[in-house]
Amino acid sequence: MKLPIPIFDHSVYQCSIGCWSMILIVVIAGCGHDIDRTSTNDDERAEVPTFVQTTDETFAHDVLGHPNPVVVIMSTRWCPECTKAKPHIRELANQLKDKVRFREVDVERNTFLAEKYDISQYPTFLILVDGQVKERVIGTDELSQLEPKLRPIVGPATSASHSP
């Protein structure tokens, strides 16, 4: 997978006095974090764990209708911080697999959910209980707060790594 590159629109327009002018429109999308352009290894990126995707259409069933708490990862495909957070979230998901459901939403493809939950920074982690947002963690700097916010909701971990 290649990193996104700027999209160029080379359009030529004729002025009202007969001269030609070229307008160059450059669109560069980013999440405000530096992108590691030194890594070109597609296999390295392919190994990043992914989560079950939910969409505008399936969110009510996958998340709101689920009896257990649900952590929703609001992210984009191009955000390096989202990719960086996934191994930590995967580890947490494995620890809490019987108590918490984890789902991911690509906010670019599911704009209704992005707007409904006021998502403007990536990644954003929502903890929903009984269909209501109980906690919100924004960005990887706050990622260490996700587990402490989940503990009162779900109790102690069932993982062997937390056994005495």
* Element containing residue 120 per DSSP (H, E): none
* Spatial distance between the Cα atoms of 15 and 89, rounded to a whole number of angstroms: 55
* Spatial distance between the Cα atoms of 75 and 69, rounded to a whole number of angstroms: 19
Let me know if 79 is a catalytic residue: yes
Let me know if 31 is a catalytic residue: no
- Rg of the chain, C-alpha, whole Å: 20
Q: Which of 7, 25, 23, 3 lies closest to 15, judged by CA?
A: 23
* Spatial distance between the Cα atoms of 82 and 93, rounded to a whole number of angstroms: 16
The catalytic residue positions are: 79, 82
